[in-house]
């Protein structure tokens, strides 16, 4: 699940990435925001894996989840998808400020 939080005093958007996979032992977020370097996600009490990144307002971040070091998982709550060079699709998180919200 993809969640967004905007700040009144900063031109940043906090993106929270969550994945529910009770069989997984590890989940990593692989994204353009981290220069495609895997970011380990932490399992929280609810059983979800979660991590948060801050990106500039107006940016678009491509991402996928890598489960247990090899299985790729898509996020159905992504704002869209875009083809990647491996023949599959990356999710897109659009950090454009919502309509009607000002900095």
Residue 100, pLDDT above cutoff 60: no
% of the chain at pLDDT higher than 70: 94
The more confident residue out of 99 and 32 is 32
Domain at 2-94: CATH architecture: Sandwich (2.60)
Q: What distances in angstroms separate CA 49 from CA 13, 99, 103, one per listed residue?
A: 20, 30, 30
pLDDT band (50, 70, 90) for residue 103:
very low
What is the pTM (predicted TM-score) of this model?
A: 0.88
Distance CA 16, CA 3 (A): 5
| Domain ranges, ordered by start, for the chain | 2-94
pLDDT in tens, 70-83: 999 999 999 999 99
**What is the model's pLDDT at position 47?**
87
């Amino acid at each position: 699940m993809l969640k967004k939080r905007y700040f009144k005093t900063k031109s940043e958007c906090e993106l929270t990435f969550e994945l529910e996979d009770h069989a997984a032992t590890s989940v990593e977020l692989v994204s353009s925001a981290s220069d495609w370097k895997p970011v380990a996600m932490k399992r929280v009490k609810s059983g979800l894996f979660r991590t948060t990144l801050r990106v500039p307002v107006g940016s678009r971040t491509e991402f996928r989840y890598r489960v247990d070091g090899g299985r790729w998982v898509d996020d159905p709550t992504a704002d869209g998808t875009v083809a990647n060079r491996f023949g599959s699709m990356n999710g897109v998180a659009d950090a454009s400020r919502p309509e009607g919200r000002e900095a």
